[in-house]
Structure 1
Amino acid sequence: MAEVPYSGEAVLFTETYGSHLSHEYSFTQEGKLSCRSEKEPAKHQTLKAFFTSVFLPQGYPDSVSSDYLTYQIWDTIQAFASSITGTLATQGTLRGVGVGDNTATVVGATVTWILKDGTGMLGRILFAWMKGTKLDCDAKKWRLFADVLNDVAIFMEIVAPAFPLCFTLIVCIAGVFKSIVGVAGGATRAALTMHQAQRDNMADVSAKDGSQETLVNLAGLLVSLLLIPLVTDSIRLTYILFILFTSLHLFANYRAVRGIVMETLNQSRLRIVLNHYLKEGKILTPAAANAKEPVFPECQKHVSIRLGVSVNELMSSLNDFEKTLKNNTKDYLLGVSRSEGLVTIVLHVTATSEDLIQACFQAELLNTLLYQDVSGFAVETDTLKELHEKCKEDKDNKLWDVVADTHILVDKMFPKFWRGLSLAGWVTDRNHLDADEWRLNQNPEDKKSQ
């Protein structure tokens, strides 16, 4: 509808377009509809609106998560740097298969390329089989891992021509690495898109992300056209550019994953939130916990948690089964192996997201008792000190008595912790705690009566 000068008549109704545009409507004395914008759009604003509609999801910024812009800026920078280093790698690969070499044969180049692609396909299948379920739970770690591995693969392709006898082997290994990058990068991108799409608009967010990446790759190609003539006969300059753009690529990726604020709990975020709760008596917000979440492998020792395992991984006798039931009225069975640093949890078929979080809450309490100093804690200090000493004195590898005592402690602590999660802004009706699919079909009433 074309805008007309506002005539001063009383405003009858208004409308908004997201949070950045509004109209006021009234009727003139002649009975015509009059529309006035809250602010007259300038030419640069019109151009901005055009690029916003092309490259950002509809309804931006209200239709996406608050961390969307920060992540996309750094993701754009890393994509540009990766595009440049990818061009350098392509040049190295082409030189290695014989482009520009009169002694090279088409058959040899074709075989090398087929082997490279074939090993990459096998690598893609194997990696998806081995690590596919982990990608959702630690999307930030795997996202950064994928980009580091991509840089390793690119470096191998650049240096491969310097080792003609091992060229095929090197590019095949690089192909496997790049296939892993494709799986890990694509899967984590889907997980992050789901997080960013606040209005169930995953398709729109994904499509606009593709448009942004295409534009960046186009810019990278244009820059590459300028750089290729300079580096064709200079290996040293190729290495210098690779180091510079790889450094930019890794830094931008680190900042990108650091800017993500996931509102669901995984093992790392739950451990951070619980440790802060025990020390300060307060629940961290998602933003504060995500800022502390490690994106590199940790050196600190802690128990491994296996959630949703088969019963035979938890117990091997009737005696073990009876011990799992002591003080336990929950929809899961839990055991610990001190020698292996492992907590195993069997879930009942009726277990909900709350039960899964509670089970991992108890597992993290056991981790605290085994590996941390509890003297400075502000919550249940005396009880935790007592259990910490009991862990030291108990010679039983499975610590059944300690597990039974933690059942009582969890019954006391968890309800308040659970309410605090929702108040702090955490999404608790779903989680990323990496639960396997085994479920126990034992009647909970029978379990409680034993």
Structure 2
Amino acid sequence: MTRRSPESGSDGPGVICTERYGTGLSKKYLQGKDGSLVCESAPAERHSLRRCLESLLLPHGFPHSVSEDYLEYQLWDTLQAFASSVTGSLATQSLLRGSGVGDATATVAAATVTWILRDGTGMVGRILFAWMKGSRLDCDAKRWRLFADLLNDVAIFMEIVAPAFPSCFTLMVCAAGVCKCIVGVAGGATRAALTVHQARRDNMADVCAKDGSQETLVNLAGLLVALFLVPLVSDSLWATYLLFLLLTSLHLYANYRAVRSIVMETLNQSRLSIVLDYYLREGRILSPAAANRKEPLLPGLGSQAPVQLGVPLRSLLSSVSQMEMLQKGNRSLYLLGWREDTGSLAAVLHERASSADMIRASVHAEILHQKTRSADPARFSVLAETHRQLDLMFPDFQQGLCSAGWVTDRNLLDADDWRVTWDQSKMH
């Protein structure tokens, strides 16, 4: 609030104070003739419908309570959800037709068995996927978000074409059910990770709730459109396929734009590799926005070093002499080396290793990966040399990360939970 002198206005009572609600509603309080406090009519009342929609669909305190990329992401995410809702209606129609709706020779028992098998295989797939990939979903939320939407389109396509192959109908429906359950795990988990990023006032519940309201409204609009479109194409398979192709193209494009609009300030392996490569070439740190634009979104892309953090000590070495070689020139809280089983780079973390130590270990692995191969007999000499290089460059690199807006007190480098304690005073 700001205060002004009551004598500030010459043609009327002075402004005592002003009041605002977020960035929208504002009021002025004036001094009345009898000394009372009078509220000046708020001009924002003309936009009462807009304020109502904002309070209904957007988090409280928007836009300051969410990240800067929130609105762009939600707009594209709304568009993709609409396209997915309509294609889902097409898939439902095909499933009902394939299950025998409208066919006098079909039995209720056969249709029931098909749906039970579909749901059962989907549940198994959900559990197995969460077990195999659950820990990776946080680290590469954008990739897995895009993967989930791609897989959802594959599942819908299988459901639409399943009636054309009666002998394989149950098998295709079950496969589509597995895909959709994987989509549910990957999509739900990555949505939670993105909510953590977007909620800037410890308002995760509010952001999540408003996202649910937006999705419900979009699905309702999709159902209304489907009520009009589905009867028009129900008698023509080619019209159904053409509509699916158009909506899927829109769905994939909107998904790509939505995921690409996200600017994560925490470092994962891909973003760290991009930032480090630019730093080594140009001597400057890329901002989170610039690095996120370069981040690959499809699995298998990117050139980051394959390194595992927080591995058990036994997987990295089997003798005291090997440990001494890994400690040579090492003053850090990690032991970086090559796994004995796969030959890939891995790091054993000290009990007191912080997020900065994990970032340093990953940076070290990137540099070491460029300078040596796992089969190189001189690799331990190169390792000691790179320790000295890290001692010189990493403090400036870390300071540059903080200055550029990166979050370094936490990371998404997928470190496992193994920790080891050794005597730092005995390090060479």
- The TM tier, using the shorter chain, reads over 0.9
CA distance in 2, matches of 1:156, 1:236: 15
Task: Give identity over the alignment, percent.
Answer: 62
Shift of 1:266: 0.4
Q: Summarize deviations over 1:100-141 as a string: whole Å, max 9, x none.
A: 111111111001000000000000000000000100000000
Per-residue deviation, residues 32-61 of structure 1 (Å, max 9, x unmatched)? 212236x61363x21111100000000000
Return the TM-score normalized by structure 1. 0.90
Contact 1:305/1:342 (<8 A) preserved: yes
Number of aligned residue pairs: 419
Opposite residue 136 of structure 1, the aligned amino acid is D
Please give the secondary structure, in 2, of the residue aligned with 1:133.
helix
2:179 to 177, 180, 197: 177
Quote the offset at 1:330 in angstroms. 0.8
Q: Is the 8 A contact 1:27 1:33 kept in 2?
A: yes
1:124 is matched with: 126
Equivalent residue, structure 2, for 1:20: 24
Q: Secondary structure at the match of 2:23?
A: coil
User: 1:373 is matched with which residue?
Assistant: none
Q: CA deviation at 1:201?
A: 0.2
Does residue 427 (structure 1) correspond to residue 404 (structure 2)? The answer is: no
Question: Given that residues 317 and 340 in structure 2 are in contact (C-alpha distance below 8 angstroms), is that contact kept between their aligned partners in structure 1?
Answer: no
- Structure 1 segment 23-422 matched on structure 2, within 5 A: 23-36=27-40, 40-41=43-44, 43=46, 45-299=47-301, 301-336=303-338, 342-370=344-372, 395-396=376-377, 399-422=379-402
Is 1:442 the counterpart of 2:422 in the alignment? Answer: yes
Separation in 1, partners of 2:301, 2:67: 31
CA contact (8 A) 1:265 1:432 kept: yes
Query: Counterpart of 2:224 in 1: which secondary structure?
Result: helix
Provide the residue aligned with 2:3 in structure 1.
Answer: none
Shift of 1:26: 2.7
Tell me if the contact between 1:302 and 1:367 (Cα under 8 Å) persists in the aligned partners: no
Deviation at 1:367, TM superposition (A): 2.7
Deviation at 1:428, TM superposition (A): 1.0
- 1:422 offset after TM fit, Å? 0.8
Q: What amino acid is aligned across from residue 132 of structure 1 in structure 2?
A: G
Per the TM alignment, residue 15 of structure 1 is displaced from its structure 2 partner at its CA by 2.2
Structure 2: which amino acid aligns with 1:424? A
CA distance in 1, matches of 2:74, 2:280: 35
Inter-partner Cα distance in structure 2 for 1:443 and 1:115: 57
* Contact 2:355-2:411 within 8 A present in 1 as well: yes
Q: Is the 8 A contact 1:349 1:441 kept in 2?
A: yes
Q: Of the candidates 10, 29, 43, which is equivalent to residue 14 of structure 2? A: 10
| Worse-matched range after superposition: 26-35 or 420-429 | 26-35
CA distance in 2, matches of 1:345, 1:36: 65
**Is the CA contact 2:270–2:304 (under 8 Å) kept in the aligned structure 1?**
no
Does structure 1 retain, via aligned residues, the 8 Å contact 2:317–2:339?
no
CA distance in 1, matches of 2:13, 2:270: 59
Distance 1:10 1:345 in 2: 68
Distance in structure 1 (CA, Å) of the matches to 2:93 and 2:409? 50
- Cα RMSD (Å): 1.9
Aligned-partner residue type, residue 349 of structure 2:
L
Q: Contact (CA 8 Å) 1:304, 1:341: kept in 2 or not?
A: no
Structure 2 CA distance for aligned equivalents of residues 406 and 74 of structure 1: 44
SS at match of 1:23: strand
Equivalent residues of 2:334, 2:348 under 8 A apart = yes
| SS state at 1:335 partner | strand
TM-score (norm 2): 0.94
Runs of 4+ in 1 over 6 A off after TM superposition: none
Shift of residue 366 of structure 1? 1.6
Is the 1:303–1:341 Cα contact (8 Å) retained in structure 2?
no
Q: Is the 1:346–1:440 Cα contact (8 Å) retained in structure 2?
A: yes
- 2:265–2:288 contact (8 Å) kept in structure 1: yes
Structure 1 residue 309: Cα displacement: 0.4
Deviations 1:412-431 (A, max 9, x none): 00000111111101111111
Name structure 2 gaps, 5 residues minimum: 1-8
Q: What residue in structure 2 maps to residue 378 of structure 1? A: none
Structure 1 spans left out of the alignment, 5+ residues: 1-5, 371-390
**One-letter code aligned to 1:30:** D
Q: Matched residues in 2 for 1:300 and 1:192: separation?
A: 21
What's the counterpart of residue 383 of structure 1? none
Q: Is the 8 A contact 1:119 1:172 kept in 2?
A: yes
Q: Take 1:65 and 1:8, find their aligned partners in 2: how far apart are those partners?
A: 42
* Counterpart contact for 1:303–1:342, Cα < 8 Å: no
Structure 1 Cα separation of the partners of residues 264 and 370 of structure 2: 24
CA contact (8 A) 1:337 1:399 kept: no
Deviation at 1:30, TM superposition (A): 1.1
**Separation (CA, whole Å) in 2 of partners of 1:76 and 1:409:** 48
Alpha carbons 1:231, 1:237 under 8 Å: kept: yes
Q: Deviations over 1:159-216 (max 9, x none)?
A: 1111111111111011000000000000000000110000000000000000000000
- SS of the residue aligned with 2:138? helix
Q: Who is 1:376 aligned against?
A: none
CA contact (8 A) 2:146 2:297 kept: yes
